[in-house]
Chain A
Amino acid sequence: MTQERCRGCRDLIPEQMLKFRLAESVFIDTALKWGYEEVRTPTLEYLHLFTATGTLTPGMLGQVFSFLDWDGWSGERVVMRPDGTIPIARLYTDSLTDREVARLFYVVNTFLFEEKPGSGRERWQCGAELIGGSGPLADAELARMALETLELLGLEGRIKISHSGVIQAVLAQLEPSPEARHKLFDDILDGNESVMSRLAESNPELLAGLKTLLGVTGTSSNYLSNLRSLFGYSVELEAAAGDFAATLDTLDDVGVPYEIDLASGRGFEYYTGVIFHLSVNGATVGGGGRYDNLIALMGGPSRAAAGFALYLDELMKFIDMAEYEMEEPDRFLVNFQPGDEARAFAVATDLRDADYTAEIKLGDPDVMDYDWVLNITEDGLLVLSDTETDEEFEFETVEELVEMLGGEASEE
């Protein structure tokens, strides 16, 4: 009888795990080279961490795995981390506020009830947060680093860029309440009929402009000039567009290609400035943005901050292991007579010390899965056979064997 796996959760079998580790290690190497330091936050957090800052949408809060804590009689609820950034902001506020600039990265799983069948409940992400780095330069660093990670994985990543402040300023002309604007924006993007017809009646010109804007993507800051012409002047829009333009100019300067796409800012309430959307072959593989208010909302000092996350589960779909030359050490199967277990263990240990992979024979393995079979004879000799050629060599010690193989653990 097979046991059912929990709905919305996946196993990673060895081949998948190789892809996972590859993507993860490329990200970790990249982050370390950019001067980022690894941190880890707990899987369980108090629910109020995510409600107090008002940074998760009601829709998202409705999807969290939450339950009563051990002392739940006090009404205390805990959640399984639904998001990577908010816990990092907490960690910074708890322990690292003495750093004016903190470059942090992490690899964690996040948990949300699936929105639709097939979308997972547990999602792994590689994230980087640049806390204390202000404005365009920090935005450019994160965008560059994200793209570089994708490049190193052999993937052609594209960045769409939007801006929370610009969206807010445009929608402000339709909706006075900042909270209601988030929902309005999502409704417009979803093409919600009743909302669209209401707006078409009350603000036909504005809606037409908005549709144009959401339907057209730009590739330079000229786009922003067009924005102004479509929506007229407002102090809020002017400031936001100025901020957006500064980041776009910096991205141009440091050679980060991008596409301006305001519609890519869905779920934007988390962010206060630019919003990145990362894709490979049209599929979303990551996202990020600027969240300048979050640290202060948590009771920390006022610190500008921005970050991004790459979605490992999505990245793995694009990784073809055949493209990677994996340098794997030779594999030995150590075969022995009953009673010779101690010697077999010692021999296997010596082989591992010489950087080979050594397995003690269990059951009836297929020898063709190994490069070498090493038989320990009754009189203690080591007989090595090449599984490809069936050639045999005799040794008294592992040292002799290693010397014969040239001390090279790996096949070139």
Chain B
Amino acid sequence: MRVALPKGRLLSDTAALLDRAGWQLNDYQPKARLYRLTSAKFPELSAKMLHEKDIPIQVAIGNYDLGICGADWVEELVSRYRLSSLVKVRVLGYGHGALYAASAAGDGVTSLADLSRRADKVRLASEYPNLAEQLAIQLRLKNYAVYPLWGSAEAYPPETAEVVILPRKSAGELVLKGLKVLSKVLDFKAVLIANRESLASKDLSAAISSILANLPPAVEFNEDAPPKTVAALEAYHEYAPDVVRLALPDGHQQPHVRKILDAAGIGIEDYPSDRGFRRPKSDLEGFAIKTIRPQDMPIQVANGNFDLAITGWDWLTDHLHQFPASPVKRLLDLKYGWVRIVAVVANEVPVTNAVELKEYFRNRNLRVASEYINIADEYARNNHFGRYRIAPTWGSTEAYLPEDADLLIENTETGGTIARHNLRIIDTLFESTACVIGNTRAADNPVKRKRMEALVERLGKALDQAK
């Protein structure tokens, strides 16, 4: 019996539930270094910790018999793919959250019906692109575009998306971010899911009943009324066309970027922001800055929402594989955040390179797992692998070998994590560092162009001096 358990948000409640259920898992805790778990109560059981978002797909394709994750990720999957192979067994009564459709306060949109009446394109940005599309279809939007995001959706309205769909515990949290809730799209809790085939043919009763017998008491969730008044965000779209829109990375890269900006003598406030704000102020004239996920930058720069951004060469490469004619270019190598993008197999697979891998899997379906789906796809195509499938993952990709995938396309700094998981690198695709990327079409405005060039030059000089 194989079980997929969530990392992150639901981990501690799920661990407590399984503890009450007497599973006696060996190492199901936040800082666990290995992803494989065993249960003293069920010797037949093997469990793995996965990113919550990956669990519904892994259960649906039959890699796992049971899984626990938020119902939001289940809905995201089944709203687009009628997955008859996925069964929702029971809502588990913890991990409450809601998905909201929201727009910027003060943007003139007062309801979803307002959007339905619009003839021009409505941009929806979300980590839940399938649910966003479903909403667009239900609202009968006349013209819409859905931008899938890795995260930080709250940063987008009003300049880079009219509507975002994002999870929060309450509407009030969004209001404090300067957003206005248009509707609640979904209420969700943690849910126990099963693979239909497993449910039909395997005996999972002991595991399921032990979970159901130990559910926490249902908690009535009362949402606080959201605060009434909130200041509208200062919007980019009020800036002149010669203003450069710059995207800086959020997350763990911020100290690196801050160091480079300091070295170049660029004053910047509220970056990294301890209040979680996403609009740092700088002393650069004619610049407006936002912080978003580095993975989302290439497409945002390509579609003209930003002119310049700081992201990884790996993410730009992935974007360029998907859209070879994209107007985004690397303008400056920032020479930090060095990683190798590598092809990885399990140690027991007797191959040392891509050619041998192709032969080894001849006439078999090769399962590839990667966060870089377009790089992985290109790699499989260029090496003429036969039938292959790429499963997108959202982190901890090394957990997938060997049971759930045959090949990973992964980034690594030292190779340590890969070796620790009993895996082996068989190929290096390329090396990646952080870089400044820009939209070549943004250079049409001469003032903007000068500003962009000046910033890139300043950063370049600072790097040279730091050598």
- Show the binding face of A for B, using Cβ within 8 Å: 1, 48, 51-52, 54, 58, 61-62, 68, 70-77, 179
Contacts and interface: CB of A to CB of B under 8 A. Distances in A.
B213 interface: no
B: interface residue count bin:
20 to 34
A385 B345 CA distance: 66
B303 interface: yes
Contact of B121 (A54, A71, A75, A179): A75
B353 interface: no
For the complex of A and B, list the 6 residue pairs with the smallest distance between their C-beta atoms, beginning with the closest.
A75-B145, A73-B302, A48-B143, A52-B142, A58-B137, A61-B137
Nearest to B387: A4
A74 B303 contact: yes
Given A51-B142, A54-B142, A73 B323 contact: yes
B325 interface: yes
B140 A72 contact: no
Interface of B: 80, 119, 121, 123, 134, 136-138, 140-147, 298-299, 302-304, 319, 322-323, 325-326, 328, 363
Nearest to B146: A75
A74 B80 CA distance: 21
Contact of A51 (B141, B303, B328): B141
A83 to B, nearest CB: 15
Contacts of A71: 323, 325-326
Contacts of B134: 62
A68 B322 CA distance: 10
B77 to A, nearest CB: 14
Contact of B137 (A52, A62, A76): A62
16 contacts: A48-B142, A51-B141, A52-B142, A54-B140, A58-B140, A72-B322, A73-B299, A73-B319, A73-B328, A74-B302, A74-B303, A75-B145, A75-B146, A75-B147, A75-B303, A77-B145
Contact of A73 (B80, B141, B303): B303
B247 to A, nearest CB: 14
Nearest to A66: B133
A6 to B, nearest CB: 12
Contacts of A52: 119, 142-143
A5 to B, nearest CB: 13
B123 A51 contact: no
A72 B144 contact: no
A51 B302 contact: no
Contacts of B322: 68, 72
Contacts of A58: 137-138, 140
A61 B135 CA distance: 12
Nearest to B141: A51
Contacts of A74: 145, 302-304
A59 to B, nearest CB: 9
Contacts of A75: 121, 123, 145-147, 303
A1 B363 contact: yes
A77 B123 CA distance: 12
Contacts of A77: 145-146
Contacts of B142: 48, 51-52, 54
A22 B395 CA distance: 56
A197 B130 CA distance: 32
Of the candidates A51, A68, A73, A77, the one having the most CB atoms from chain B within 10 angstroms of its own CB is A73
